[in-house]
Structure 1
Amino acid sequence: MSTEIDAPPNLSALYLKAAATGPLRRGRELPETEYVRRDIAVDHDHLAEYDRVCGFGLRDVLPATYPHVLSFGLSVRLMTDPGFPFPLVGLVHVANSITVHRPLLVTDVLTQRVRVADLRPHPKGRQLDVITETSVEGEVVWRETSTYLRRGKPDESAPRAERAAEVEPGSATAVWRVPADQGRRYAEVSGDKNPIHLRALTAKAFGFPRAIAHGMWTKARALAALEGRLPDAYTVDVDFVKPLLLPSTVEFTAHRDAGTFAVHSRSGKPHLVGRLH
């Protein structure tokens, strides 16, 4: 069932709804709702701020990760609807795949569709996909699958997912110093104000010693480091392996021939691993 949305959802209201209804959610199935928003024009000032926060240059072509931000409100609305089975707070973003069929331009007028699918077992609970399609004049030009984990009773029968890539630490392409306020800066431009990303105090309430960077900021920052070397059409898969605590100094490594890249801690533990194909 498709439902048309005329304007971006009010994220502040949705977060309050999530807090109030989260403890009551005990469902076993995903809703069949699809939210659709049409006639989306790119706000040039917002895009410029997103580019600055994520490290992209100012260009007429949208970063591959930017439509994720545009559709984020639809995703949150869907995951706070009465039929969604899990609390929004506590879902863990474990993987993300984006396919760019052709470059999106700042002048394009977009239509976005968001739905959830494929509730399935995971060794640490259950997982599901949030699927987003972005179209221009009826043509799907961008597609994203974000995989979320709901931690729960271990299911040893669940297949263990293969990572997007395996990239050994060492021979870093770049070293990034990620400041303590990176989560707050990305939250302002993305709308993703999950408390685990904002401050150490709020992150500790959810079991983290400090605030952690958004996975989608880390993916965007990696693609910004590859800017100018990406084809017009490609798929980029990443796994979010280990939280990136703020502040941190991390190493970015890219292997052009293999199409693989990763973000590691200075001790060699992976935060993100990815593959371009």
Structure 2
Amino acid sequence: MIYVEIIVMIVGAFLAFFFALWYSSCFEDFKDSYTYNDKPSLLCIFTKGLILSLKRKQGRLYREGGKFGLRLSSVGSKDSTANSVSSTGIRPKRANIVFKDCRLNPAKLQEYRKVCGDTESVSVPLMYMECLFTRPLITLAVSSKSQLAPLGLIHIKQTVTIYENLDDLLTLPFDLDTEVMRYREVDRGVEADIRLQVFNMAEKCVWEGETTLLSRNPKAQRSGGHRTAPVKPEQGGFNEVELSVPGDTGIRYAKATGDWNPHHLYSWSAKLLGYRQPIAHGMWTLAKALAVIQNSGGTLTLPVHVDASFKRPLFMPGVCLVQCGVTSPAVRWLRVVDKVTGAPHLIATVTLLKT
């Protein structure tokens, strides 16, 4: 009997020791820089996110430095700890996280090509690099550098600029730099613009994007008119392709990219977050629409700039229409709309930049 007690005490001591290490690591703030192999664990990120979500409310802008529960009283605050203010929004102090020496996973890249329909190309798809920022974005969102509640952030806009061919990234390491550029207080809550940059071994930026996230104030009126009204017909002709969206698209995209947000996965998990069905990832919708253009003969030469706004949720399973046309020799428009109502899921422009 005494041996059993000794074994239980030893096991208990080990468990207490490892729990103390995990607990302390979860309350230490994240570093400014990581290598891809020593990035924060998902368990640590989840714990920090849960704690921060309990301390912060959606739709509010908080002070920097991890001072939980302190809301900025106004955009023009004269407090010495407040952010700088410009006409375009509230510029925070340097708030970035860098993941160094990252490498592409060939198996994940192939999965991405399959789920996004980019099967004709052997190079890196235009939107693929964005999904590599999933871990850096989450890490930044749950750190003290963030000034928003991490729960319920909505991806409403995305810009991407590809400056040159990305084939070197298939074999060589690169760095991912994620930085909060500005906050804006809007009628629906607070918007955050986050810059994403990919640097090659020569420290040259070869891919750049800006993600706009909305922390929605639950008390804000949900008119939805700007998101559900049918888009006006474009002048001139355009191409249209019907696109079927299988019910497992969200799971397949999550496996390829690591974006496991629950409202994209199952009916029960989507209903927990207020959706009647799972909704497609916005970046999947954009990547799929671009692949439809390219696979139908629409060549996109580099450098290129893509500016997209995500509108009405695309429920799965479902059917939508991908429409595209030409505004000028260098500019094309792209949209994804509901087959029945014509309400937009996605509106984008694609601009071929001069070299």
Same fold (TM over 0.5): yes
d(CA) in 2 for partners of 1:44, 1:58: 16
Percent sequence identity over matched residues?
Answer: 28
Which residue is equivalent to 1:158? none
d(CA) in 1 for partners of 2:287, 2:43: 24
d(CA) in 2 for partners of 1:73, 1:17: 14
d(CA) in 2 for partners of 1:273, 1:252: 10
Which residue is equivalent to 1:25? 56
Mapping of residues 174-213 of structure 1, within 5 Å: 174-213=241-280
Greater relative CO (CA pairs within 8 A, separation 6+): 1
d(CA) in 2 for partners of 1:167, 1:261: 13
| Aligned CA distance change for structure 1 residues 78 and 149 (closer, same or farther; 3 Å) | same
Cα displacement string for residues 172-195 of structure 1 (whole angstroms, at most 9, x for unaligned residues)? 521111011111111111111111
Q: For residue 187 of structure 1, what is the amino acid of its counterpart?
A: A
Q: For residue 87 of structure 1, what is the amino acid of its counterpart?
A: A
The reply on whether 1:88 has 2:150 as its aligned counterpart is yes
d(CA) in 2 for partners of 1:68, 1:41: 14
195, 205, 209: which one pairs with 1:131?
195
Which residue is equivalent to 2:301? 231
1:98/1:236 contact within 8 Å kept: yes
Higher strand share: 1
1:111/1:134 contact within 8 Å kept: yes
Which residue is equivalent to 2:350? 276
Q: For residue 215 of structure 2, what is the amino acid of its counterpart?
A: R
d(CA) in 2 for partners of 1:35, 1:151: 24
286, 291, 301: which one pairs with 1:219?
286
**What runs of 5+ residues in structure 2 fail to find an aligned partner?**
1-29, 65-91
1:254/1:262 contact within 8 Å kept: yes
The reply on whether 1:262 has 2:335 as its aligned counterpart is yes
Q: For residue 273 of structure 1, what is the amino acid of its counterpart?
A: I
**1:44 positional shift:** 1.3
CA RMSD of aligned residues (A): 2.4
Q: How many residues align?
A: 268
Q: Which has the larger radius of gyration?
A: 2
1:260/1:276 contact within 8 Å kept: yes
2:108/2:257 contact within 8 Å kept: no
**1:91 positional shift:** 0.8
18, 37, 54: which one pairs with 2:99?
37
Which residue is equivalent to 2:78? none
Cα displacement string for residues 192-213 of structure 1 (whole angstroms, at most 9, x for unaligned residues)? 1111111111111111111101
Higher helix share: 2
Q: For residue 190 of structure 1, what is the amino acid of its counterpart?
A: T
- Residue 133 of structure 2 aligns to a residue whose secondary structure is helix
Q: For residue 234 of structure 1, what is the amino acid of its counterpart?
A: V
